Amino acid sequence: MQSEDGTVALGHMAPLRQGKLSEQIYAQIFGLIAGGEFPEQSKLPTENDLALRFDVSRTIVREALARLRDDGIVVSRQGAGTFVKRRPDSAVLKFAPLGSIADIQRCFEFRSGFEADMAAFAASRADDVSIKRISDALETLDDIIRKGSLGTDADFDFHFAIAEATSNRFFVSVMASLRPHIAFGMNLSRSMSLMHPAARVKNVQAEHQTIFEAIRQREPQRAHEAMRRHVENARFRMFEGEKNETLRKGDKRGNLSDH
Which amino acid, residue 132? K
pLDDT of residue 10: 37
For the entire predicted model, the pTM comes to 0.74
Nearest residue to 96 (alpha-carbon basis) of 232, 29, 182, 189: 189
Which H or E run contains 77?
A: strand 74-77
Q: Which residues of the chain have pLDDT under 50?
A: 1-18, 242-259
d(CA 112, CA 106): 10
pLDDT of residue 77: 93
Burial 168-181 (b: 16+ CB within 10 A, else e): beebbebbeebbeb
CATH numbers and ranges of domains, the chain: 21-84 (1.10.10.10), 100-249 (1.20.120.530)
pLDDT tens, residue by residue, 32-59: 998 899 999 999 999 999 999 999 999 9
pLDDT of residue 202: 87
- Residue 12 is classified by DSSP as T
d(CA 154, CA 226): 19
pLDDT of residue 240: 63
pLDDT of residue 241: 52
CA dist list (Å): 66 to 26, 52, 59, 70? 9, 18, 11, 6
pLDDT tens, residue by residue, 120-146: 999 999 999 999 999 999 999 999 988
